Amino acid sequence: VSSLIIFVDASLIPYGTTNFILTSTDVFGNIGTASTELLVSDKPYPKVEFVGPKVRTTRRFLRTFIEVSASSSSCGTALGNASTTSSSQLLYAWNQVVTDPLLVINLGTSASTSTLDISPYQLSAGKTYTFAVSVT
């Protein structure tokens, strides 16, 4: 197993979505491919951080909160002034990464806020749940 890092000059990648596909052939003629998608935007991306630990343990009868802190700042304007977008101006979209259809829970109205609120008794004991948040 080996690894390879390929650098591509940013000026060669246009704004929008670019797909990169790497095809490799070993000494026996076996072919493998890997691909990734890169989204290049002229807008600044928000900086998102979890408040507290990323992995948590809770009890079924407790209300569980998962909170993120987010901010977005531009590199500057025509006048050279940087601006910052507060977390209240950003849009949040929580979702559950479902690995078992029997473990789907209702995210409720908190799915569009910076804090995901999971009501008591929605989680099953001994199970692992994964949640993701998108901030724009």
Q: What does the block give as tokens for 55?
A: 């992995």
Candidate from 7-11, 82-86, 129-133 with smallest mean pLDDT: 82-86
Does the pLDDT at position 52 exceed 70? yes
Does the pLDDT at position 81 exceed 50? no
Candidate from 8-12, 22-26, 66-70, 115-119 with smallest mean pLDDT: 8-12
pLDDT of residue 54: 85
Does the pLDDT at position 86 exceed 70? no
